[in-house]
Structure 1
């Protein structure tokens, strides 16, 4: 999950705790302070929901990237709470994250048709 986000930001660094997360955000997104908590909440909520779906509903995740896609859904939905440029920036960030996850999924996929 964190590697996918780091890839979007252009870094190999991944946070190990909440303080590193906020310093990571500040380093790579210095003008987006209002989005730091939104992003963390979306990722945590997505991970929790995917975990619950797997544990209690016995539905297997198709890919670890499912967590990112669920988080993008939350971010896009929550963008509706904002107005103007903040809303557009948040929707644009969700779109970028979704696109990066799709690219990483293609890179990580096993080559097909090789015998």
Structure 2
């Protein structure tokens, strides 16, 4: 999503990764992690209890963006603007990744 192959495998690596790639967003690292975890948990519940099959993994990212946008509404001032902007950027990156994956998948079908 952020243009890197370096993905964290634990909480310490997550915070190190955030400091390396998002040095100005220190105050929202935990909120971003909470949004992703909450989105995964919600998706798991939908699959387990409502028997809704996930169409594509990007649903989790879009759900996390929804949480971030909602939580931004609870903030005031510059932090609200920053979090809303971050949610928009994450959503746009997810859309672009979906396009790339769809193009690659279509190319595999042709070959």
TM-score w.r.t. the length of structure 2 is 0.90
RMSD across aligned positions (CA): 1.6
Greater fraction helix: 2
Distance 2:89 2:32 in 1: 13
* Structure 1 segments unaligned to the other structure (5+ residues): none
- SS of match in other structure, 1:54: helix
Residue correspondences, number: 108
* Structure 2 segments unaligned to the other structure (5+ residues): none
Between the two structures, name the one with larger relative contact order (CA 8 Å, sep ≥ 6).
1
Distance 1:98 1:38 in 2: 16
Pair 1:39-2:32 in alignment: yes
TM-score w.r.t. the length of structure 1 is 0.87
1:69 maps to which residue? 62
1:18 maps to which residue? 11
